[in-house]
A and B are shown apart, each in its own frame.
Chain A
Amino acid sequence: GQSLEQPSEVTAVEGAIVQINCTYQTSGFYGLSWYQQHDGGAPTFLSYNALDGLEETGRFSSFLSRSDSYGYLLLQELQMKDSASYFCAVRGLEGGSYIPTFGRGTSLIVHP
């Protein structure tokens, strides 16, 4: 099966930088995705890494190391609105189907 590990909670202050790590186990790896979900809201796509390295999108960056089965999401210049849950997700081959599996989520709390 597939599994992902990410911290349950991370706290930081406004304006700081925070990194949310994700380690995964999967067969037939096809990429690591990150989603943001505010309380009561729907998950929103943030980034996708299929190859090793860093992908940057504004204040958010995502990194992948396939050899280490590891990735992280980097949030810079934190704002109060960044307080949300962040999920990493992988899609792997399982039982003939391409199954997306999500981590349990990291609750990011940004303090003023």
Chain B
Amino acid sequence: KAGVTQTPRYLIKTRGQQVTLSCSPISGHRSVSWYQQTPGQGLQFLFEYFSETQRNKGNFPGRFSGRQFSNSRSEMNVSTLELGDSALYLCASSLASGRSTDTQYFGPGTRLTVL
């Protein structure tokens, strides 16, 4: 079974631009979560989608948004990029949502650099 895939793997943007990252979960998984990983803050939860609905949301500004499609693929968007948005963005998929979602399978991540 293919793993979680994320595109693109690397991205360089400038301040003020916007970016869209894509994630394809493992076949059959309906939950997709997004995380931001930085050396300073560690791994932080952005949001989770299940069956095209946002189920859980972390403490990030509204510039960070996402969506999920009927085939469970997900995208996240960051608008008005700031230097501090430079990070590794990880997507994780799982079978279920909510409190039972503790076996997550992570993709390789998208390394975003904001100049």
Contacts and interface: CB of A to CB of B under 8 A. Distances in A.
A100 B59 CA distance: 11
Interface residues of B, number: 24
Contacts of B100: 30
A91 B57 CA distance: 12
Interface of B: 4, 33, 42-45, 55-58, 90, 92, 98-109
Contacts, number: 58
A97 interface: yes
Interface bracket on A: 20 to 34
B66 to A, nearest CB: 14
Contacts of B105: 45
Contacts of A48: 102-103
A41 B102 contact: no
B102 A43 contact: no
